[in-house]
Amino acid sequence: MGKLFAVVLTIITVVATAIFVMRVWWLPADISVHGPWIDHQLMETMLSSGILFVVSQLALALFVWKSGDRREGRKIKIFPGGAVPMVVLATVLVGAEILALTFVGSKVWASIYQTPPDPNSLAIDVQAEQFAFYFRYPGADGKFGGIHPELMNEASQNFFGLDPAHDTAARDDIVVPTLAIPVNRPVLLTLRAKDVNHAFYVPELRIQQDFVPGLVIPLHFTATQPGKYELVCTQLCGLGHYNMRAYVEVMPQEQFDQWLKQQAAQQ
C-alpha cells in the first residue's frame, strides 16, 4: 500500500508539474509596460514554489515508500537531528524567500499602484454598471461634464447621468462601450461604479482593479501592442456578471484620433 501511495503521488506530482513546465495553459502574451515585471515575479515564485512542491511531494512519497517496509525487527527511526534543525531551516529558508519576494514584489506593486500617473496621460472616465462598461472621453474641450445619478437613463443612452441642458462641459463628452486607447501612450482611467462592486481585468494588460460604489479609483497603464483585447469583470456583481465585458482596442495614435472623431459625430 505504501508503494502504491508513493507511485500514485509521484505520478500526480510529475503530471501536474509537467503541465506547468510545458505551459499547456498559460498567461496570454503581455502587452503592457509594467507586465514584464509581473511576469518576472510570477516566474520567480513559480520556480521557488515549484521546487518546494516537487521536493515535499517526492519526500512524502519516498518516506511513505520506505516506511511501509514490513521486515521483522525493523526499528523506527527519528528524523536526523530531530525537529529543531528542521524548524530553523524552514524558518530561514522560507523567511529568506519571503524577504526576497516582498522586496521585489512590493517594488513591482508600487510601480503600478503607488506611482503617480504620467502628467501627459490620456484621461478616460470608466463607469461599470450591471452589466456593462462605458467609457467617456472628454471631447474637444478636454473637460468632463458633471455626473448626476438622477439623470442616468439607459434608454436614451445617458449612462453617466450627464446634464447637457445645463452643463456645457457635458455636451461634447464622448460615451462609448469600447475602450480605445493609443499604443505606447500612458492612459489614466478613473473608475466609478454606478450600482455595485465590479472589477477591471484585462489579462493581457496584467492589471486588475475593483470598482467600488462611492469611490473614484484611478488606474494607469501603458499598452505596447496594437490589437483587440477583452476587458472582463472579476468582481461578482449579479446575474449578468459572466457576460460583463468590453473590448479594449489598442491602436496607433492617428487611427485613435480618427476613431475619436468618428465617435464624436455619432453622439
Decide: is 149 part of the binding site for another protein (CB under 8 A): yes
Task: Let me know the angle formed at the C-alpha of 230 by 251 and 213, rounded to the nearest 5 degrees.
Answer: 110
Query: And the C-alpha cell for 244?
Result: 460583463
Q: Which residue has the cell 518546494?
A: 52
Rounded Cα distance, 134 and 178, in Å: 7
Rounded Cα distance, 153 and 170, in Å: 15
Q: How far is the CB of 150 from another protein (least distance, A)?
A: 5
Q: How far is the CB of 203 from another protein (least distance, A)?
A: 3
Q: How far is the CB of 95 from another protein (least distance, A)?
A: 6
**Among 126, 137, 188, 201, contact with another protein (rule: CB under 8 A):** 201
Number of residues binding to another protein, judged by CB under 8 A: 117
Q: How far is the CB of 185 from another protein (least distance, A)?
A: 21
DSSP annotation of 69? -
**Among 144, 173, 209, 250, contact with another protein (rule: CB under 8 A):** 209
* Beta carbons within 10 angstroms of residue 110's beta carbon: 10
**Among 247, 259, 260, 264, contact with another protein (rule: CB under 8 A):** 247
Burial of 199 (0-12, 13-18, 19+ CB in 10 A): buried
Nearer to another protein, 127 or 138 (CB): 127
Q: How far is the CB of 233 from another protein (least distance, A)?
A: 8
Decide: is 262 part of the binding site for another protein (CB under 8 A): no
Angle between helices 83-109 and 35-67 (to 10 degrees): 160
Please name which of 207, 187, 201 lies closest in space to residue 117, comparing C-alpha atoms.
187
Decide: is 248 part of the binding site for another protein (CB under 8 A): no
Rounded Cα distance, 57 and 37, in Å: 30
Q: How far is the CB of 199 from another protein (least distance, A)?
A: 6
Q: Give the bridge partners for 209, in sequence order.
A: 200
Question: Which among 23-31, 136-144, 182-190, 252-260 is the span making contact with another protein, rule CB under 8 A?
Answer: 23-31
Nearer to another protein, 172 or 247 (CB): 247
Residues 154-183 that bind another protein (CB under 8 A): 154-157, 159, 161, 163-165, 176-178
Please name which of 55, 61, 76 lies closest in space to residue 3, comparing C-alpha atoms.
61
- Going residue by residue from 76 to 115, which x/- string records binding to another protein, judged by CB under 8 A? xxxx--xxx-xx--xx--xx--x--xx--xx-xxx-xxx-
Q: Which residue has the cell 503541465?
A: 19
- Going residue by residue from 28 to 67, which x/- string records binding to another protein, judged by CB under 8 A? x--------xx--xx--xx-xx--xx--xx-xx--xx-xx
3-state SS, residue 179: strand
